[in-house]
Structure 1
Amino acid sequence: MTTYSAVRTTGIYCRPGCGAKPLAENVRTFELAAAAEAAGYRACLRCRPYRVAGTVADDAPELVCRAVQLIIGGALDEADESALGARLGLSARHLRRMFNDHLGVTPDQFARSRRAHFARRLLDDSELTIADVAFASGFGSLRQFNRAMREVFRSTPRELRERRRRTDRLVADGGLVLRMPFTPPYDWHAMVGFLAERAIPGVESVVDGVYRRTIGLDGEPGLLEIAPGGTDHLLLRAHLPYWEGVIHVVERAARLVGLETEPLLAAAQLARDPVIGPLIEARPGVRVPGAWAPFEIAVQAVIRDQSPTDADELLARLIQVAGTRVPGLDHGLTHAFPSAEALYSAPHGAGDTVQALAAEVAAGNIRLDGAEALEELVASLTAIRGITEQAAHEIALRLGARDAFPRTPTRESESWHPWRALASIHLLTADREGGQMSVV
């Protein structure tokens, strides 16, 4: 977990390793950059803390973590804290109190900080216009964008663009290239192995260590490529139909490859376990993968659970019949995954269980947005005939439930609560690769 140091005498906060040497009695520490900003501090111009991974500590309550994931997904773009609280079953006042107690910010302050930091990265890394940066970062207007950048960085967007360094700019041969920061260690080899094992034919591919997938944005196709970039970041190349709301594309991609959660507490507690501890010692950079599209993950989990030997063939047939064709792509990519509505109405032949799942999701009876607790989500999924508890836990794991366990429970696994998701990924990685170590 990155800890930010704020200096009372200067009003500036820094990331670890900054060359500034303030007196210890003048320093306050914050776990989130947003918390430092909410307390009135501005980002250091030297170490640029907006360029490091800003994850939320995994010792925060699960309800707070679920709320954070909803905010990252855009829950406060066009709604307020009351609406967010309602999705989680609590009042706006209680939600604000939980955020203040555990993160040091309100939900609105957290959302504003993420937008501003993402915009600053775009100003550094890309050649997008100021207006494009504003709307790509989730701001509703240029006025709102300018005000937020002045509040967070004490400068206008134009001044920040002029201040960027020569090495910041990422030259793209097509598409938009962005750094996706992480706090080392991070095991890309294990992550890409997991994704390759579950790649949906025509929608996802892994070739030479690069993950690629098709996406759909408001009915328009796009393409994402994720590859290693350096010791503290991956590189995302996005080919998109428009730049508005790019922040959510990047954050969903980061969630997919496990960059949104740094499992420090989980790893520390599991490291004492005689089974999981040696696996963590061998591969400390293993993270829990997330999902680009929750419904896609749900369909895949059900099909792979019901027909493990024929799953790729069934998924390929489903994609051909119900998916949206995306012509002109390489690496075996041909279609975007269908929505629940499209899958429900198409004669895809994937079975009654998938049909029932699509109908329930399309009707809003099953929510896959991460707002539900693990027990509630598993119960709603297993109420559909044919969805096993193991498949439901696989879905929950990819949606961010930290205690999901898509394996047969054992006496040993009972001691891994509430971090069974990370334990199961370590077990899976060890099964697949025999414990080989590969950390970037």
Structure 2
Amino acid sequence: MLGHMHEDVERCVRAVRSKDARFDGWFFTAVLTTGIYCRPSCPVVPPKAENMRFYPSAAAAQQAGFRACKRCRPDASPGSPQWNERADLVGRAMRLIADGVIDREGVPGLAAHLGYSTRQIERQLNAELGAGPLALARAQRAQTARLLIETSTLPMSDIAFAAGFASIRTFNDTVREVFALSPTELRHRVGRGRPAEASGTITLRLPYRAPLCPDNLFGHLAATAVPGVEEWRGGAYRRTLRLPHGHGIVSLRPGPEHVTCRLSLTDLRDLANAISRCRWMLDLDADPVAVDDLLRRDPVLAPYVDKSPGRRVPRTADGAEFAVRAVIGQQVSTAAARTHTGRLVGALGDPVTDTEGGLTHLFPASEALAEIDPATLAFPRARRVTLTTLAAALAAGEIDLGPGSDWAEARVRLGDLPGLGPWTIETIAMRALGDPDAFTATDLGVRAAARHLGLPGTPAALIRHSAAWRPWRAYAVQHLWATGDHAINRIPA
């Protein structure tokens, strides 16, 4: 099991000797003779096997007294794909920590979201990751700090605040301990920080595991973009973000080695959260080699995987927002769904100022949608009931579609609402919850692709056939959709 790969010493040594980037984020290599830790693909000459020690997380290596390598920057490697594919307590905890819940609510807040005691969570995380929640959050704060030190001209006091440190002293001590350089020395290494492009704008690189197929990923987001909230402009996908301390506007542009991310935030404390949401939305922590290897075993899918390796599942920046959009999109065209949703946004969304494009609003909060008069909605009566009931359940906290959600429980709760059938629930599971095995067997595009490829025609038979694609059926859906000629499959010209 890759999840405990750091315990398989021979395999880890082989990965380090071959500088295999596929394992970046799966484990970390500490070198006893130098006191540093690296990612498996580090370009430096590998040490002797007896001098290597392997850890399941950057936090565990830091806790054992090792400093981050200045060459390969292990703290900036893509996150372990394991946390995106696991539905258990540790997987849910890691998604919440990445979302910044400990900085906002502490370990008791993390425990409350998960419904376990702080002691149970400490024990489970230590057992699997060699570090508790505070150490994991500290490692993330250090990574955010380095990012800002090296890519912005922000004063160090602002960076300490943005990265979630309680004081300047803690910020200085942590940076020096993790990177063996003071914050000022780190900035000097990259030429005194790059000048900010605009006041309050931060540009950074989001790494991913190669390969990455941007066509359906950015094509889907652009084709379904809600006017005012999202747009495709100048080769980048842009959207507004509702964040814990304010709001932001993000621009995401695909590149051959990373996605360029430009963020404009009203409160810098939201930086780590915004980055986490963008990585999640673009499925950048996926393990494309593992996914493609499995799907390639089906001779029907193999030629499509070979043609477009590294397909990702286009996700969403906000689970509650996507659930509402999925209901509006029931049994209507993409264009109609965009029009209907755009009207709701104009009526109920909070206005924002976008100096670089045409974004005008945040997507309406569930509380605002829950108070809407159903008679004002231009939908069939049944869908109006579904939408208002869903919004009320989300506003009341009865359904959790956030990073730490329990996927099975969320499906059950959604199924209890009127008008939410298998298609809507699995679409929400795939794109809002991020379940990599969600499967929309009743989707029109999936059924058309099945007919075209000679796969079973009925949903029940197709579900049986899809067992061979588990646990990556959401990725199989992307390949099936791509057999059709639809705008979601291509980046706009």
Question: What TM-score do the two structures reach when normalised by structure 1?
Answer: 0.89
Correspondences of 1:338-357 after superposition (within 5 Å): 338-347=364-373, 349=377, 351-357=384-390
What is the number of residues matched between the two proteins?
436
Deviation at 1:173, TM superposition (A): 4.2
CA distance in 2, matches of 1:265, 1:108: 31
Q: Residues 195 and 245 (structure 1 numbering): CA distance in 2 closer, same or farther, change over 3 Å? A: same
| 2:153–2:193 Cα contact (<8 Å) kept | no
Deviation at 1:304, TM superposition (A): 0.7
Partner of 1:231: 256
CA distance in 2, matches of 1:302, 1:72: 28
Q: What is the RMSD of the two structures over their aligned residues, measured on CA atoms?
A: 2.8
Query: Is 2:299 the partner of 1:274?
Result: yes
Unpaired segments ≥5 residues, structure 1: none
| 2:277–2:317 Cα contact (<8 Å) kept | yes
CA distance in 1, matches of 2:386, 2:84: 36
2:105 to 56, 62, 79: 79
| 2:223–2:487 Cα contact (<8 Å) kept | no
Query: Is 2:410 the partner of 1:377?
Result: yes
| 2:149–2:193 Cα contact (<8 Å) kept | no
CA distance in 2, matches of 1:54, 1:218: 22
Correspondences of 1:112-131 after superposition (within 5 Å): 112-131=138-157
Partner of 1:11: 35
1:367 to 374, 378, 400: 400
Q: Residues 346 and 59 (structure 1 numbering): CA distance in 2 closer, same or farther, change over 3 Å? A: closer
| 2:212–2:288 Cα contact (<8 Å) kept | no
Q: Residues 30 and 187 (structure 1 numbering): CA distance in 2 closer, same or farther, change over 3 Å? A: farther
CA distance in 1, matches of 2:292, 2:468: 13
Q: Residues 143 and 219 (structure 1 numbering): CA distance in 2 closer, same or farther, change over 3 Å? A: closer
CA distance in 2, matches of 1:188, 1:167: 33
Partner of 1:100: 126
Cα distance per residue 1:145-202 (max 9 Å; x no partner): 233223322333223223x224973651452211112222122232101211221122
CA distance in 2, matches of 1:364, 1:259: 28
| 1:279–1:435 Cα contact (<8 Å) kept | no
Q: Residues 126 and 434 (structure 1 numbering): CA distance in 2 closer, same or farther, change over 3 Å? A: closer
Correspondences of 1:137-156 after superposition (within 5 Å): 137-156=163-182
CA distance in 2, matches of 1:308, 1:59: 30
SS of residue matched to 1:196: helix
Partner of 1:390: 423
Normalized per residue, which structure has more helix?
Answer: 2
CA distance in 1, matches of 2:360, 2:490: 33
Cα distance per residue 1:105-162 (max 9 Å; x no partner): 3222222111111211111111111111112222233233233223322333223223
CA distance in 1, matches of 2:487, 2:112: 45
Cα distance per residue 1:392-411 (max 9 Å; x no partner): 11112122222222333412
More divergent stretch after superposition (107-116 vs 401-410): 401-410
Partner of 2:439: 405
SS of residue matched to 1:325: coil
| 1:378–1:389 Cα contact (<8 Å) kept | no
More divergent stretch after superposition (19-28 vs 211-220): 211-220
CA distance in 2, matches of 1:338, 1:222: 15
Cα distance per residue 1:311-338 (max 9 Å; x no partner): 1221121112111223555654222111
Q: Percent identity?
A: 38
SS of residue matched to 1:78: helix
Partner of 1:422: 475
Q: Residues 222 and 83 (structure 1 numbering): CA distance in 2 closer, same or farther, change over 3 Å? A: closer
Deviation at 1:247, TM superposition (A): 1.2
